[in-house]
Structure 1
Amino acid sequence: MATTELQQSSSNLDSDVQISTSGGKHGGWIAFLFVTGTVTGLTLATWGWLANLIVYLIEEFNVKSVDAAQISNVVNGCINLLSVVAAIVADSFFGCFSVTFFSCCIHLLGVILFALTATVDSLRPPRCDKGSPGLCKLPSRVQFAVLYSGLAMLSGGVGGTRFVIATMGANQHDRPEDREISFNWYFFTNYVCAAIASTAIVYVEDNVSWALGFGVSVLANLIGLAIFLSGRHFYRPDKPQGSPFLDLARVVVACFRKRKVLLSSGSEDYYHGYNGKAKQVAATPAKNFRLFDRAALKTEGDLKPDGSIAKPWRLCTVQQVEDLKALIRILPLWSSNLFVTTPIAIQSSLTVIQALTMDRHLGSHFKIPAGSFQVVIFISTSISVMLVDRFLYPIWRKLTCRTPTPLQRIGVGHAIIVLSMAVSALVESKRLKMAHDHGSNVVPMLALWLFPQLVSIGIGQAFHFPGQVSLYYQEFPVSLRNTATAMAAMLYAIAYYLSSAVIHLVRRVTGWLPDDINKGRLDNVYWLLAVLGVLNFGYFLVCAKLYKYQNNADKERDASDSGSNM
């Protein structure tokens, strides 16, 4: 999840940064230091509660394990969906600073509310008696209302800052190479802080107290917000430029309103822009999806005497029409990626449940928190991205004299992620066998057996998600590049919601996912995901074979740049 979501920020750079460069004291590395400090505080605060959410729901709110995984999936889906919304709002209306400040405050309130649920006994139900798990008391309506209110504020706060603050950091620089360095530091800061929070803060929550762990998150949020406000005199002001999604909506509306108008083959009959100047003038509309060409077809009353558009929702430029077509052309590839992300979302939550039933001791005194196992994915992805960029791609270029295309990278990621589902199934089969042999809730099997499936997921993400970002950025029209990789964040949002639907369907149709997974067949769930992954990989290969790169002239350069910037 982290790789896809962090990469989205780079695509927002071009439009969200129509900045005022007046005044040498504004922007630069001093301003970026304040942004980095803000990211540090907010990331520590976020992963302080998010990494251990499933365990908190199970142990403190008596939520069933699979239900807790479902809630976690919904929360992650909301975070990714709201990230797209926040980016659009920042671009269109309020700018980066206002959206980041408001989101920081919302997140702070959410963390404080979560800390209260861990501190005030009346805000959570009595803890379960481990000897009589069937007698656990469920939370009351008031307790559920407080819990879900906190989760709503936390989701909105994380979603509102995750990509907007990254773009704001890059906005402080004029030179492209400085912007690339700023993004590299942003990636590094996020991974390091996520790893620290998922280990240190989660350890405090599991071994000292939940209240203290959430208190650390509150403090980190306060420090991040204070650093952010301290740098307000150094930040460059950004000016909202409007969202291209509004232009796409106009194309659809204009096409519908002119659905009875006959198409023309003459270029002069289509509108190319005011005074003949569009953002990127296309001579004639492309031959595919011609029904949308009606939106750019000039009819009586569409233009003012000076040549500008009289009715924006009835006439669009040719370029706006081509922008919409570009989105439609890439949708099949996008949908194939959706069914790769969904198994990852399912596995990320079920792995925590597996870890709770396994021996998590390292030595006689240290016990790995179940919520910390996601750190393996962070580390694996980070190391794999570095190795792929510095070693694998250069070897590929020497052997083939070509740079790997985005589709090739995505394909390799597909295959490795499908393999990880098979590895997960094999590990779970071994865990279930030991559970049945020993007949205990905690299986005498080291939780380190979960590492292979987590490492393989990280390796797959190192290929798959950067390839996605590169593809969207390269193939989308220039006018849409500022929000191109919002498609990747939207992918994650839908995947988490879809994963909840898949788990719910499996529970209704089969007996594979009872509340006690030792009595179920989680291995069958993983095998099902592996089989669906193989079928989806075939679908991806068909889509990739049929897809024609739209920006052939830039393909090699863009692919090379994408690889070198990771």
Structure 2
Amino acid sequence: MNAEPQSSGAPKKGGWVTFPFLIATMPGLTLAAAGWSNNIIVYLINEFNIKSIDAAQIANIVNGCMALSPILGAILADSYLGSFKVITVSSLVSIVGILALTLTSILDLMTPTPCEHGPSPCEGPSKAQIGILYISMALSTMGVAGTRFTLATMGADQFTNPKHQRVFLNWHFFTMYAAMLVSMVGIVYIQDNVGWGLGYGLSGAANLIGLVAFVMGSRYYLLLKPQGSPFTGLACVLVAAFRKRKALLSPKTEDYCQEPQPRETKLINTTNSFKFLNHAALVTEGDMNPDGSIKKPWNLCTLQQVEDLKTLIRISPIWSTGILLHTTLAIQMSLVVLQALAMDRHLGPQLQISAGTMMVFVTISTAISLALIDRFLVTFHKITHTSPTLLKRIGIGHVLTISSMALSALVESKRLAAARTHNLAGNSIVPMSVFWMVPQLLVVGVGEAFMFPGQVMFYYQEFPKSIKSTAAAMVAVIIGIAFYLGTAMVDLISKTTRWLPDGMNDGRLDNVYWVLTIVGLVNFVYFLVCSWMYKYQNDENKELNSPNP
């Protein structure tokens, strides 16, 4: 994508002048998304009389879509509309969805009659009521699709210096996690104790504030023009290479199709890795028009398109290591809630915290760690004049995640021992404080602070320039796949072992955590092999040009 031309009287585009607008946008949009989604299961059960299992299934679908949908927004931003339009339109769609969700919470005709204690069954929602509910959640989810990672990429695009890009992304994710923390503690409390209408209304107001902040900075943004879908060109490489598979490759660079470029620009050379794909750019008889343009697009591709596809192939092993990493985290987060329900959750003689509130410790740990890591990296660079590579940061995240699984197994072993000592079965509350789980959750948060921004920065830096937004959203794809894979793994464990019965005190949840620890270790070895073999593609930052993590 190319930058839009600037007029002589226009303000300078890009740089730190855009920082306040983009950083103000992130918490607003995050508060909006987290505000309506974090407590959706309780809303479905209490206000729509939906059974617990059905409510959990609906929430699973919503969470899966929220994790996977940003890739669609990123593709639209890269290929057709540009980041600014995608973020603006998505924010407007999200506001409409949250407004509709707010109306369902304040208008009696949009919800079924509340359940009454007695022999008569609860009245479920009508088709119209459930239809409006689904539409409101779908619109709200679509809003997340165009903002969550597209905003991160657009912000990084404002800077040409890789160090400045990292600083922006660190602050971007810090504000995101801080906003999530406010949502978990503040908006969820309002929904449970004051009213759903006010809670959802505040989410909509946060969305509006984020949108206004974003639009206010429009005159300063450096906007990149989309140049059509890059994925069409990548598919063309595969087709053209197969069609010309019998042609003899030439050692001369001049025999391959190049992107139109100024004469002083150096031609791209062919590379020997995945050499078969070079056939796609080999110029044969009948491929070119007299004016030098490509005559048959699916018969001939540029060498740049070939190299872009090779780049994706080289990155794919590193990308695949993130799937099992996030799968173990997804399972751990769901099991933590089950553990908390069977432990003493009192904070003092009167106050009892919610089991779902335990996730706050992960968010707090992540937000604080992001700020500390950013300061540490700056100080470390001043002293040593080097910085840890992105793969090293991701590797640290792997190690900390594995450590948190082992800690979880040890805490659960202690909880089960306490249950046996007191002859407790089923889901009886074990006289053991839920705060025993805080250390493992803090470790998860620190690991996520290393891993999550590191992955986004790595894909942004290493992916071809034509699909930068898509690169950032690849993390969302990993999380989405991990979410569903984790569900399948838990289902498999439930069917093949007796570790996960209905009663927490009757199972062996500690064995599940040990399995996750082993899975994490195997995946970490795989990550080390992939990292050792990987060579950084980006030469802009010499500190990153090491073949090893």
Tell me if both proteins adopt one fold, taking TM over 0.5 as the criterion: yes
Question: Which residue of the other structure, out of 194, 209, 214, is the alignment partner of 2:180?
Answer: 194
| 2:471 paired with 1:484 | yes
- Residue 493 of structure 2 is matched in structure 1 by 506
Q: How many residues align?
A: 543
Q: Kindly provide the CA deviation profile for residues 316-352 of structure 1, in whole angstroms up to 9, marking residues without a partner as x.
A: 1222212211211221222122110111122233333
Summarize the Cα distance change of 1:245–1:139 in structure 2 as closer, same or farther, 3 Å threshold: same
| 2:267 paired with 1:281 | yes
Question: Which residue of the other structure, out of 162, 165, 189, is the alignment partner of 2:151?
Answer: 165
Q: d(CA) in 1 for partners of 2:455 and 2:490?
A: 26
Match runs of 1:9-158 below 5 Å: 15=1, 17-18=3-4, 20=6, 22-24=8-10, 33-57=20-44, 59-60=46-47, 71-120=58-107, 144-158=130-144
The one-letter code of the counterpart of 2:412 is E
Q: d(CA) in 2 for partners of 1:192 and 1:474?
A: 25
Partner of 2:273, secondary structure, is coil
Summarize the Cα distance change of 1:40–1:74 in structure 2 as closer, same or farther, 3 Å threshold: same
The one-letter code of the counterpart of 1:390 is R
Q: d(CA) in 2 for partners of 1:279 and 1:357?
A: 67
Q: Are the counterparts in 2 of residues 77 and 495 from structure 1 also a CA contact under 8 Å?
A: no
**Mean Cα displacement is larger for which, 242-251 or 505-514?**
505-514
Match runs of 1:470-549 below 5 Å: 470-478=457-465, 481=468, 483-514=470-501, 517=504, 520-545=507-532, 547-549=533-535
**Mean Cα displacement is larger for which, 358-367 or 76-85?**
358-367
- Residue 7 of structure 1 is matched in structure 2 by none
| 2:193 paired with 1:207 | yes
**Mean Cα displacement is larger for which, 99-108 or 239-248?**
239-248
Partner of 2:305, secondary structure, is helix
Q: Kindly provide the CA deviation profile for residues 388-438 of structure 1, in whole angstroms up to 9, marking residues without a partner as x.
A: 443478569968x85433333322221211111122222233344555644
Question: Which residue of the other structure, out of 244, 253, 269, is the alignment partner of 1:267?
Answer: 253
Q: d(CA) in 1 for partners of 2:19 and 2:378?
A: 31
Q: d(CA) in 1 for partners of 2:113 and 2:497?
A: 32
Root-mean-square deviation (CA), in Å?
3.9
Q: d(CA) in 1 for partners of 2:503 and 2:117?
A: 13
The one-letter code of the counterpart of 1:250 is C
| 2:388 paired with 1:404 | yes
The one-letter code of the counterpart of 1:409 is R
The one-letter code of the counterpart of 2:34 is W
Q: d(CA) in 1 for partners of 2:534 and 2:41?
A: 43
Summarize the Cα distance change of 1:347–1:111 in structure 2 as closer, same or farther, 3 Å threshold: farther
The one-letter code of the counterpart of 1:460 is G
Q: Kindly provide the CA deviation profile for residues 489-518 of structure 1, in whole angstroms up to 9, marking residues without a partner as x.
A: 322222223223323333444454455545
**Mean Cα displacement is larger for which, 244-253 or 383-392?**
383-392
Q: Kindly provide the CA deviation profile for residues 336-386 of structure 1, in whole angstroms up to 9, marking residues without a partner as x.
A: 221101111222333334434444332344443444333322221233234
C-alpha displacement of 1:482: 5.5
The one-letter code of the counterpart of 2:324 is F
Give the TM-score normalised by structure 2: 0.84
Question: Which residue of the other structure, out of 409, 415, 433, is the alignment partner of 1:425?
Answer: 409
Summarize the Cα distance change of 1:222–1:550 in structure 2 as closer, same or farther, 3 Å threshold: closer
The one-letter code of the counterpart of 2:38 is A
Summarize the Cα distance change of 1:161–1:534 in structure 2 as closer, same or farther, 3 Å threshold: same
Summarize the Cα distance change of 1:293–1:371 in structure 2 as closer, same or farther, 3 Å threshold: same
The one-letter code of the counterpart of 2:406 is A
Q: Are the counterparts in 2 of residues 424 and 523 from structure 1 also a CA contact under 8 Å?
A: yes
Partner of 1:485, secondary structure, is helix
Summarize the Cα distance change of 1:184–1:405 in structure 2 as closer, same or farther, 3 Å threshold: closer
The structure whose RCO (Cα within 8 Å, separation 6+) is larger is: 1
Summarize the Cα distance change of 1:117–1:34 in structure 2 as closer, same or farther, 3 Å threshold: same
Give the TM-score normalised by structure 1: 0.81
Summarize the Cα distance change of 1:271–1:240 in structure 2 as closer, same or farther, 3 Å threshold: closer
- Residue 360 of structure 1 is matched in structure 2 by 345
The one-letter code of the counterpart of 1:313 is W
Q: Are the counterparts in 2 of residues 272 and 278 from structure 1 also a CA contact under 8 Å?
A: no
The one-letter code of the counterpart of 1:218 is G
Q: Are the counterparts in 2 of residues 279 and 479 from structure 1 also a CA contact under 8 Å?
A: no
C-alpha displacement of 1:130: 9.6
Summarize the Cα distance change of 1:500–1:20 in structure 2 as closer, same or farther, 3 Å threshold: farther
Q: d(CA) in 2 for partners of 1:278 and 1:247?
A: 25
Q: d(CA) in 2 for partners of 1:111 and 1:198?
A: 17
**Mean Cα displacement is larger for which, 227-236 or 420-429?**
227-236
| 2:286 paired with 1:301 | yes
The one-letter code of the counterpart of 1:491 is I
Q: d(CA) in 2 for partners of 1:278 and 1:504?
A: 60
Q: Are the counterparts in 2 of residues 251 and 292 from structure 1 also a CA contact under 8 Å?
A: yes
Partner of 1:106, secondary structure, is helix
- Residue 12 of structure 1 is matched in structure 2 by none
The one-letter code of the counterpart of 1:194 is M
Summarize the Cα distance change of 1:492–1:44 in structure 2 as closer, same or farther, 3 Å threshold: same
Summarize the Cα distance change of 1:323–1:523 in structure 2 as closer, same or farther, 3 Å threshold: same
Summarize the Cα distance change of 1:163–1:335 in structure 2 as closer, same or farther, 3 Å threshold: closer
Q: Are the counterparts in 1 of residues 174 and 370 from structure 2 also a CA contact under 8 Å?
A: no
C-alpha displacement of 1:200: 0.8
Summarize the Cα distance change of 1:555–1:505 in structure 2 as closer, same or farther, 3 Å threshold: farther
- Residue 10 of structure 1 is matched in structure 2 by none
The one-letter code of the counterpart of 1:406 is L
Q: Kindly provide the CA deviation profile for residues 189-226 of structure 1, in whole angstroms up to 9, marking residues without a partner as x.
A: 32322211111111112233333322321332334345
C-alpha displacement of 1:456: 1.0
**Mean Cα displacement is larger for which, 332-341 or 101-110?**
101-110
| 2:300 paired with 1:315 | yes
| Structure 1, unaligned runs of 5 or more | 1-14
The one-letter code of the counterpart of 2:188 is V
Partner of 1:445, secondary structure, is strand
Q: d(CA) in 1 for partners of 2:428 and 2:266?
A: 63
Q: Percent identity?
A: 49
Summarize the Cα distance change of 1:416–1:185 in structure 2 as closer, same or farther, 3 Å threshold: closer
Q: Are the counterparts in 2 of residues 19 and 239 from structure 1 also a CA contact under 8 Å?
A: no
- Residue 376 of structure 1 is matched in structure 2 by 361
The one-letter code of the counterpart of 1:297 is L
Partner of 2:271, secondary structure, is coil
Question: Which residue of the other structure, out of 328, 331, 343, is the alignment partner of 1:346?
Answer: 331
Q: Are the counterparts in 1 of residues 390 and 544 from structure 2 also a CA contact under 8 Å?
A: no
- Residue 6 of structure 1 is matched in structure 2 by none
Partner of 2:247, secondary structure, is coil
C-alpha displacement of 1:549: 1.0
Partner of 2:432, secondary structure, is strand
- Residue 231 of structure 2 is matched in structure 1 by 245
Q: d(CA) in 2 for partners of 1:538 and 1:136?
A: 52
**Mean Cα displacement is larger for which, 192-201 or 96-105?**
96-105
**Mean Cα displacement is larger for which, 91-100 or 66-75?**
66-75
Summarize the Cα distance change of 1:150–1:526 in structure 2 as closer, same or farther, 3 Å threshold: farther
The one-letter code of the counterpart of 2:101 is F
Q: d(CA) in 1 for partners of 2:437 and 2:407?
A: 9
Partner of 1:204, secondary structure, is helix
